[in-house]
Amino acid sequence: MNSRTRFMVTGLAAGIVTGILGSGGGIILVPLLASFCKEDEDRIFPCSLSIMLPICLCSLMIQKRQVSVSFLEALPYLLGGLIGGILSVIAAKRVSPVWLHRLFGCILLWSGFKCLIS
């Protein structure tokens, strides 16, 4: 399978997960970019973000047709996410990719556990 097809399959998987769950495509996207697409370590997280932004926007537009969400209701989450995103980019530059992968693995385990018990 050529690299273009691998990227398309990876994006398809992320889009399906995001469409079904409303978010979370990045959870499978990062491991797929690392193992299936053989993406460089330093490009995995920025690549994942650049892929997930348009997928999330498309999912939002489709969901917005079915359920009304007020921008004012979402504003505190957006502000918190903005601050968290800025702080995490600064922190991630100081942490080795190995530890970022370990942290990501812990988050995956915690998320999976929470899903199983809820």
Supply the pLDDT for residue 96. Answer: 87
Q: What global pTM score does this model have?
A: 0.65
Predicted pLDDT of residue 98: 85
* Chain centroid to CA 64: 20
Nearest to 47 by CA among 25, 17, 62: 25
What confidence score (pLDDT) does residue 3 get?
Answer: 85
Residues contacting 40, CB < 8 A, separation 6+: none
Q: Is 7 exposed, middle or buried (0-12, 13-18, 19+ CB in 10 A)?
A: middle
Residue 16 is predicted with a pLDDT of 87
Phi-psi region of 38 (alpha: psi -120 to 50; beta: other; left: phi over 0): left
* 10-residue stretch averages of pLDDT, the chain, 118 residues long: 89 85 79 89 84 83 76 85 90 86 87 87
